[in-house]
Structure 1
Amino acid sequence: MEVEMKVFNDPIHGHIALPELLVQFIDTPQFQRLRYIKQLGGAYFVFPGASHNRFEHSIGVGYLAGRLVQALHERQPELNITQRDMLCVQIAGLCHDLGHGPFSHMFDANFMKKAIPGSTWKHEEASICMLDHLIRQNNLENEMVAAGLVLPEDLVFIKELIDINAAQHQVENNGARDAEVNGDRRINKPFLYEIVSNKRNGIDVDKWDYFARDCSYLGMANNFDYNRLLKFARVCTVQEKKQICFRDKEKGNLYDFFYMRNCIHRRACQHRVVKIVEEMISEAFLQADGVIEIKGSEESTFRISTAKDDMEAYTKLTDVMFQKILYYPIPEENAQNIMNAQNILRNVMRHKFYMFAHETKPFCSKMSEEEITDQVVIFITERILINQDPLDVTKVIVQVVTMNYGMKVNNPIDGVNFYSKTNPNEAHLITREEVSLFLPNMFEEKLVRVYYKKIKGEEAEGPEEAEGPEEAEGPEEAEGPEEAEGPEEGERLRVLDDQIIIILKDYLEQWYQEKAMTFSYSLTIV
């Protein structure tokens, strides 16, 4: 059956063709919602070019998923990749990010963890639910069947391709009815599960697109060439399981792939200003949570933090919430919460961010970010209270940033099998010595940053006010109409800012010297 295609002009991949069924998915309110969610979250407030959204990224992933599965089909007909398989893979690529919340990863990695302590919710779960909602609300079941898909089998398969853990969790909640519908694919075609979201080694088309797209919009060079890797992708049987492997001469290109991920995170996603921007936006959302209501299905209403439980409400939850909070009429109840949130967002708009104090040198640790954060907070709080420093301990912000090559502490190439030109059907691992002696010794590091909730050069609302008796008693300030008073006040605030930074920097360095080294580890090449 000939598949009708539609052509898009993408700024990254050029003119791309997508099946008509994918276009029907794109032309829905649930997918169009992605136009209003920034790909890099708060980075747009730091990098003026980072204006791209989840919408175009998702289209790019759907396209690349089709290219990879088509290449494998043409190169190895014996794999028996069907048109149904290819269409499912493309839909999974297209819909893999449907569940992202406002400002992308800021929502689940920052806001949700604080709004619902102990929450393990991730956007992949919402992607699965939103896909169901999209199909149901737009009556796409008949269109999917007309395109050759078999329901519910292929829909379950699409969800598994997006995130197999989230999909299986949903199946468990629905009962055993769909539990084994794709048993044959899991056994005979497990390589299809590595195209959109590769849990084995992280090499998937999601990253192929966002590397190219993020670098282009950030103004960074992208050293990874996915077009070349496409030509050398091949399915081999390794330990009785079929998996996507690559030609041995592509090992250098794949190291560039993993290094590129580290570069984007280091220079943009984990940029110290980006992180505090997202902290401030998240704080504003927390202040507004419970005040702003979002209408869901059957006239129900939800908070920002609970909208994920109803896809009708979640469809309305995008970056637009920033503007909604900023211009929300002050209510009679909870007025202070909204005013606090609006003040925070106005500071973000004016590029008045919380003060950055210091960050440690990189170190390696098997402790979680949460465990390290708790330890640093306790350490700094104790010293502030003991020394009676002019700081409000509730205004100290500690962030632990983890940088790696995508597979935590492991060498990512250890999860990749390579074939040779002379033996394309047999794949094997490659040792680091076979690649280069210049490879990193470690593949993950952490660092700790400390900020203070005060806008530099402005009067704080915290302990500075508590110390106010001196100011109230001072006759000089009571006589303050003279113009000369302005510079003196500005100098006082500058001294206070410098004092805060010096104190926090000193305490963080003390923690690093006394504590960080006790749980750090190192690797030595013999």
Structure 2
Amino acid sequence: MNEQGKRVHREEPHHVLPSPDGTMILPKRLKPAPFKTRFISPRDHDTARTNDEIHTSISFCPVVRAIVDTRVFQRLRGIQQLARADLVFMNTNHSRFEHSLGVAHLAERLCKRLQEQHPKLKISHKDVLCVKLAGLLHDIGHGPFSHTYEVVVKNALPQYLDDHPDLKEHYAGYPKLAKDWCHEKVSLDMIDLCLDELGLQIDYQELDRPLKQIGDGLDRCSMRCFNSFKNEIDDFSITKVHYNDDDDILTSRDFCFIKECILGRPLPGFKDFIGRTNMHKEFLYDIVCNRHSGLDVDKIDYFARDERRAIWASGEIETLMVDEAVVAWAACTAERGSCPGCDRPEHKHHKHHLMICYPEKRIPDCLRFFKKRYTNHDTIYKHKTTRAGQLLMCDILCQADPFFRIFTPHPFVKRGPLFPQKFEKLPLSLAMLDPYVFMDLDDSIFELILHSPDPRLNPAKKLIYERYKSRKLYKCVGWEVIDRKDEIGMNIWKKSESQIAAEMLTMGGEHRDSDGKPLVLEKEDFVLDKCSSNYGSGDKNPLEKMRFVRREDMSTHKKHRPAEDLPLAILFDEKRFSTELPRSFESNIIRVYSRNDEKSDLVGHVFAEWIEKALLGKAGIFSMTSDPEEVDDDEEEDCKLPPVELSQESIPENYREFYGEDDDDDKSIAL
């Protein structure tokens, strides 16, 4: 700006110049832009901080602050991290917003740790900022109720529509989602929408140039590193600030790198990573989403945060997982053909990757980290009452989705060129087809359904009003732990919930209540839930996918070597730690919940009979090994249930002894 307040455009790059009043400094401009853009002033260089219950204090650089203040990111305040686990653990009402800030903080901390430990790897300030932004934006694509929305879209709703084929006509004209759809892919679109709100866009034609300026907002040259100045800032004057070279400006390639860090694989349409093509920096991809071992800053944060909120345990971050991480050469842990880096010519010669590894002495600590994952899943995420609440929410969303529509944003919402309007309105399950629509979705969606005048939504409204709002959750009336190492157990586990439900409905016999009235079990009366809790690698030891550095290779002079001379990490030796390993790394359980309070005893009775015959190898309509048509007449007779008058007393004694009395779910609430 000149003295008359008129805009000054400069064709050539120039160093920072103070404004007449000394309070504003303009960064370099690469070329004039026909938009009203704003610059980040020197006063914004001061790092902002906020308190956090896990990390004590989290800092914001100007670029992070600019992104956090967008509507796209602020939406995460309205999405709870654990959906409605607070129905059981009342303090678990933390949001995706604070978790995302925590992951960004840890990503920066780990990246700076590796930068300090390995100076010859040339981890730049821009690399650190990009990894931090990946941590900040990794969950920006979550829908209402976090993972519950994803379960509805991918599993619950398709099954519901198969059971009610007449409802499929309400989706005519809408495209089908890809089978590999996930919230991480939505995050890629939401990042584009976030940049669009700032007036910026990724330019895939000029990856090494600054972001494309497409509208009013933040000047593209303001998206840069602010902690790498050529000269120190004078404590008494802001007129001596000098930016570094143009290399500090974030480019389109940098934001491709951010997206790849979130996705954990190359972007759609690309066979290999384009963000960081140098093989000596590929370990940066594993900080936010570790495609090799699964030990990343995302899990470090939410393990501690969820544990603190749910069971008020230590809730401390695993500092050793951050402070003792090192980089070393190691054999790839991915399945053959699934790692794009293994196909590079340089890898064919070297046959190893640069990976994030840990000292060999930290093997027990790594095992405890994955043990915490199992504990959190078993105690919090897969708690029977937590799952009851999630199943109820799935039912509400499935019943509402065919009729409820989200309209495109109001006319005052200015669309960018990347996402033109294609639909006037969208169902909840397809809201991600328009990021502008998806941006309006959060956990308040039930209130919108409840106040909709459409009478077709009455079944969903009834569930919200009579069950959800009064916490009358579905009752768990039976469960069975399944041993997948056993052949019969494996055959049981291979069955889907719908297959098990169909077999339960074919169980013979007549059922009556205590008053003698006949009872008929229907598919809508119950819902089955298969849950697995593991250490992160299914039934395998997660340490098998990690790599560790020998003690003699941990000396400072060896870590400070060039990339080519870094040590070779070794595999986990199970024999040395056999006493610390659990007998099994995974537990599997099948639960049945009653949707109909009047038929709870009936559902529990039929499930008990089904599981008894299944464990004897007679279930599967009714054989686990034979085709139904091959079951002979004698076996078929054995499979029929005798008539039974159902009451509390009629439940088999061994069933009640095994499962115990559980008439009141409130007894399991941890407050």
TM-score, structure 2 normalization: 0.65
Which residue of structure 1 lines up, in the alignment, with residue 98 of structure 2?
56
Question: CA 1:434–1:180 in 2, change beyond 3 Å: closer, same or farther?
Answer: closer
Which residue of structure 2 lines up, in the alignment, with residue 294 of structure 1?
406
Question: CA 1:229–1:183 in 2, change beyond 3 Å: closer, same or farther?
Answer: closer
Which is worse superposed, 122-131 or 235-244? 235-244
Which residue of structure 1 lines up, in the alignment, with residue 302 of structure 2?
210
Q: Is 1:156 matched up with 2:279?
A: no
Which residue of structure 1 lines up, in the alignment, with residue 15 of structure 2?
none
Question: CA 1:225–1:45 in 2, change beyond 3 Å: closer, same or farther?
Answer: closer
Question: CA 1:89–1:282 in 2, change beyond 3 Å: closer, same or farther?
Answer: same
Residue number among 186, 195, 208 corresponding to 1:135 in the alignment: 195
5 Å-filtered alignment, 1:493-512, equals 497-512=600-615
5 Å-filtered alignment, 1:68-83, equals 68-83=110-125
5 Å-filtered alignment, 1:333-348, equals 335=455, 337-346=456-465, 347-348=467-468
Deviation at 1:268, TM superposition (A): 1.0
Q: Is the 8 A contact 1:99 1:128 kept in 2?
A: yes
Q: Is 1:381 matched up with 2:514?
A: no
In 2, Cα distance between equivalents of 1:72 and 1:508 = 52
Q: Is the 8 A contact 2:54 2:315 kept in 1?
A: no
Which residue of structure 2 lines up, in the alignment, with residue 306 of structure 1?
430
Question: CA 1:385–1:107 in 2, change beyond 3 Å: closer, same or farther?
Answer: farther
Residue number among 312, 320, 330 corresponding to 2:453 in the alignment: 330
In 1, Cα distance between equivalents of 2:491 and 2:614 = 15
Deviation at 1:236, TM superposition (A): 0.6
Q: Is 1:237 matched up with 2:333?
A: no
Q: Is the 8 A contact 1:379 1:511 kept in 2?
A: no
Q: Is the 8 A contact 1:22 1:91 kept in 2?
A: yes
In 2, Cα distance between equivalents of 1:293 and 1:341 = 14
Q: Is 1:453 matched up with 2:573?
A: no
5 Å-filtered alignment, 1:23-102, equals 23-102=65-144
In 2, Cα distance between equivalents of 1:103 and 1:249 = 40
Q: Is the 8 A contact 1:224 1:256 kept in 2?
A: no
Q: Is 1:392 matched up with 2:522?
A: yes
In 1, Cα distance between equivalents of 2:482 and 2:461 = 35
Which residue of structure 1 lines up, in the alignment, with residue 267 of structure 2?
168
5 Å-filtered alignment, 1:429-444, equals 429-444=571-586
Q: Is the 8 A contact 1:356 1:450 kept in 2?
A: yes
SS across alignment from 2:478: strand
Q: Is the 8 A contact 2:306 2:315 kept in 1?
A: no
Deviation at 1:410, TM superposition (A): 1.5
Q: Is 1:182 matched up with 2:182?
A: no
Deviation at 1:232, TM superposition (A): 1.3
Question: CA 1:56–1:105 in 2, change beyond 3 Å: closer, same or farther?
Answer: same
SS across alignment from 2:139: coil
Unaligned runs of 5+ in 2: 1-26, 28-41, 160-177, 201-210, 212-219, 226-247, 332-351, 410-420, 512-517, 555-566, 626-671
1:143-171, Cα deviation, whole Å (9 max, x unpaired): 56444244221111100000134x522x3
SS across alignment from 1:184: coil
In 1, Cα distance between equivalents of 2:608 and 2:492 = 22
Q: Is the 8 A contact 1:223 1:260 kept in 2?
A: no
Which residue of structure 2 lines up, in the alignment, with residue 6 of structure 1?
48
CA RMSD of aligned residues (A): 2.7
SS across alignment from 2:533: strand
SS across alignment from 2:356: strand
SS across alignment from 2:98: helix
Greater helix content: 1
In 2, Cα distance between equivalents of 1:422 and 1:278 = 50
Question: CA 1:385–1:250 in 2, change beyond 3 Å: closer, same or farther?
Answer: same
In 2, Cα distance between equivalents of 1:56 and 1:134 = 18
In 2, Cα distance between equivalents of 1:223 and 1:133 = 34
2:151 alignment partner AA: A
Which residue of structure 2 lines up, in the alignment, with residue 252 of structure 1?
364
Question: CA 1:340–1:370 in 2, change beyond 3 Å: closer, same or farther?
Answer: farther
Q: Is 1:219 matched up with 2:314?
A: no
SS across alignment from 1:358: strand
Q: Is the 8 A contact 2:289 2:296 kept in 1?
A: yes
Which is worse superposed, 404-413 or 386-395? 386-395
Which residue of structure 1 lines up, in the alignment, with residue 62 of structure 2?
20
Deviation at 1:375, TM superposition (A): 3.3
5 Å-filtered alignment, 1:415-430, equals 415-424=545-554, 425-430=567-572
Q: Is the 8 A contact 2:328 2:568 kept in 1?
A: yes
In 2, Cα distance between equivalents of 1:284 and 1:349 = 12
Q: Is the 8 A contact 1:360 1:512 kept in 2?
A: no
Question: CA 1:143–1:127 in 2, change beyond 3 Å: closer, same or farther?
Answer: farther
Which is worse superposed, 508-517 or 232-241? 508-517
Which residue of structure 2 lines up, in the alignment, with residue 465 of structure 1?
none
1:23-59, Cα deviation, whole Å (9 max, x unpaired): 1111011000000111001212221111100000000
Unaligned runs of 5+ in 1: 461-495, 520-526
1:434-459, Cα deviation, whole Å (9 max, x unpaired): 224141132223211111211x3xxx
SS across alignment from 1:442: coil
In 1, Cα distance between equivalents of 2:142 and 2:493 = 22
Which residue of structure 2 lines up, in the alignment, with residue 358 of structure 1?
478
1:403-454, Cα deviation, whole Å (9 max, x unpaired): 1111112100011111133212342122222224141132223211111211
Structure whose alpha-carbon radius of gyration is higher = 2
